[in-house]
Homo-oligomer: A and B are copies of this chain.
Amino acid sequence: MIIKEAKEGYLSPEFLAAARHEGIDPERLRRLVASGRAVIPKNVNHHFSEIRAIGEGLKVKVNVNLGTSKDYINLDEELEKLRIAEKYGTDTIMDLSTGGDLRAIRKRIIGDSNLTVGTVPIYEAGISKAKLPSKAVVDMTEDDMFNTLEQHGKDGVDFITVHCGVNKTSIKRLKKQGRSTGVVSRGGSFLLAWMLHNDAENPLYANYDYLLEIAKEYEMTISLGDGLRPGGIADATDRPQIEELITLGELVDRAKAANVQSMVEGPGHIPIHQIATNVQIQKSLCRNAPFYVLGPIVTDIFPGYDHITSVIGAAIAAMTGADFLCYVTPAEHLALPTVDDIKEGLIAMKIAAHAVDISRGIDIHLDHEMDIARYALDWDKQFALAVDKEKANMYRNQRRPRTDEVCSMCGDFCAIKMTKDYLNSDIKTVDV
């Protein structure tokens, strides 16, 4: 068991693989995992090559969500999304399918992927029930919930989002305060509806020890979902959100005691000046458990551009300590994303992750090589170094320059060309 091995000082192959990707000493990684500051999500039943650690001081990681919806069920398209996500360097994927044969889709995605895979089992528990005649999400039983968790464990899911903090206390706080956007977490809304309909405590909270037992059996990392995350700038950092976060912090402690790896999920929608605060309070309340943020989106009035509103938030979140960034696509708030949307969202989020890696001295040679290729006006090298070579080429070819050496922005009045012509003999290049 990874966390147990970490605590006992044993470096299993997972540590070596994850540390190799980081370019760090496996022993340093072992200490981070032992103390709960990093996780290495890997199910005992899942064999994959791209093992990743997520946590303090490591490379910033990016997740891609994919999956069917009730209205759009096309497994081939989801597998194409997976291929694109791998091509453009996602670290993990989450299968959030809610339409079609959910288990078959999940098994195919796990089978086809070389990456860490996460899921939100409560979707399947609720949706399977809602498919039955005259049944709804709220008719799922506690057994449905835990059996689905177990099934995801058997199928090899590496990490599961569990909304254990949506409990009677946090809902009471939500009712007392009020909110502009209510509950926008899908899993959170399933549990809220279930609790209100059945007048009962959230089973994932009430029977958290049982949840931990299942997680431990398959070595699933638990990702403590923020079911009460704000759904808009107006609700950011409000009392229900922080009430739930306190609970999640307590649940981190209990996971650690039970030798289950855990991380904590965060908003969502946060104005730019509250992002550092959100990261710091999560780190403080959750004893430095890895923080997995969804964006955050920093303004709500740009639908169609939420891949951009979110990467601004994600970059600032990662700068101030967030470890794991869930991408957002331009279709967010509007539609199920297409393959193209997946690509746009992922590359945008990779920009945020890499920009923060640079600030830690990680992979900065890539940018330096590009700088040198630009000064050399070496276009082949520039395209070779570009994360999206096709798009870079497309833009250059959209408007070819008359002189191949430069680009059509400045043409012969290219500043680099001018500098090289007059200064080149004098200037040193620097070793970076």
Contacts and interface: CB of A to CB of B under 8 A. Distances in A.
Contacts of A235: 371, 430
Given A301-B370, A302-B386, A395 B334 contact: yes
The 10 closest A-B pairs by CB, nearest first: A232-B371, A178-B428, A304-B391, A273-B359, A189-B415, A70-B411, A189-B418, A334-B395, A182-B419, A298-B355
Nearest to A269: B371
Contact of A333 (B179, B374, B429): B374
A169 interface: no
Interface residues on A, range: 35 or more
A351 B308 contact: yes
Nearest to A358: B271
Given A301-B367, A302-B386, A331 B409 contact: yes
A402 B71 CA distance: 6
Interface string A419-432: 11111101111101
23 contacts: A71-B411, A98-B413, A126-B413, A137-B413, A178-B428, A179-B427, A183-B423, A189-B416, A192-B423, A234-B368, A273-B358, A298-B358, A301-B366, A301-B370, A302-B350, A304-B394, A307-B308, A308-B308, A309-B351, A311-B312, A312-B315, A330-B395, A331-B395
Contacts of A234: 367-368, 371-372, 430, 432
A145 interface: no
B71 A423 contact: no
B69 A409 contact: yes
Interface string A290-315: 00000000111111110111011001
A55 interface: no
A281 interface: no
Nearest to A274: B359
Nearest to A126: B413
Contacts of A387: 301-302, 305
A375 B182 contact: yes
A146 interface: no
Contacts of A35: none
Interface in A66-88: 69-72
Contacts of A392: 303-304, 334
A1 interface: no
Nearest to A420: B182
A180 B368 contact: yes
Nearest to A338: B398
Contact of A430 (B69, B179, B350): B179
A407 B69 CA distance: 10
A91 to B, nearest CB: 17
Contact of A432 (B72, B180, B335, B416): B180
Contacts of A338: 398-399
Contacts of A374: 181, 231-232, 300, 333
Interface of A: 69-72, 98-99, 123, 126-127, 130, 137-138, 174-175, 177-186, 188-190, 192-193, 196-197, 231-235, 271-273, 298-305, 307-309, 311-312, 315-316, 319, 330-338, 347-348, 350-352, 354-356, 358-359, 364, 366-368, 370-372, 374-375, 382, 385-388, 391-392, 394-396, 398-402, 407-416, 418-424, 426-430, 432
Contacts of A372: 180, 234
Nearest to A354: B299
Contacts of A337: 409
A388 B183 contact: no
A332 B398 CA distance: 12
Given A189-B418, A192-B419, A419-B192, A300 B183 contact: no
Contacts of A308: 307-308, 311, 348, 351
B304 A386 contact: yes
